[in-house]
């Protein structure tokens, strides 16, 4: 008798926990984002820039910066626009986004990327890269609200 009560209480607790985590995902919202990133380097590179998050009818200024390590050579400017999803508040966009990648831009080229931060925000971005840049590297991009 006591074992069935413990089992029933455990089942209720697991169900409540699953419901709470699903409701937070179900309540998550999305917005649009635009970023302009300037990148330069020689083996070790750096990037910086800014942008705007449009979320629930309001605009929020963003700053972005990061480092690259690997085969990095050149300089470029990348303008990205896209969608951010799985956020509940503007501050969910802030965080560190990491990627491993390879690319070559001579003059100009298209760029598309999907990134996720530690809070679960998902950036789906595409745009144009202009400059002379060759890379085979590990890179990180930190986005903060201004």
Supply the DSSP string of 64-103, one letter for each residue. EEEEEEEEEEEEEEEEEEEEEEEESSGGGG-EEEEEEEEE
Residues 114-119, mean pLDDT to the nearest whole number: 90
The CATH code belonging to domain 29-145 is 2.40.128
Tell me which H or E stretch contains 21: helix 2-26
120: left (phi over 0), alpha (psi -120 to 50) or beta: left
Model pTM score: 0.72
The reported pLDDT for the residue numbered 114 is 85
Residues 48-63, mean pLDDT to the nearest whole number: 96
Q: How confident is the model at residue 132 (pLDDT cuts 50, 70, 90)?
A: confident
Going from N- to C-terminal start, the domains of the chain cover 29-145
């Amino acid at each position: 008798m006591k074992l069935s009560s413990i089992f029933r209480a455990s089942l209720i607790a697991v169900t409540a926990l699953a419901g709470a985590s699903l409701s937070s995902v179900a309540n998550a919202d999305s917005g649009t984002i635009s970023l302009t990133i300037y990148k330069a380097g020689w083996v070790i590179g750096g990037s910086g820039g800014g942008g705007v998050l449009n979320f629930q009818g309001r605009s929020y200024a963003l700053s972005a910066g990061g480092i690259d390590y690997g085969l990095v050579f050149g300089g470029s400017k990348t303008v990205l626009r896209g969608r951010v999803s799985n956020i509940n508040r503007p501050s969910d966009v802030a965080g560190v986004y990491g990627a491993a990648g390879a690319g070559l831009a001579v003059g100009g080229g298209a760029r598309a990327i999907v990134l996720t931060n530690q809070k679960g925000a998902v950036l789906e971005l595409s745009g144009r890269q202009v400059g002379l840049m060759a890379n085979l590297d590990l890179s990180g991009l930190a986005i903060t609200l201004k």
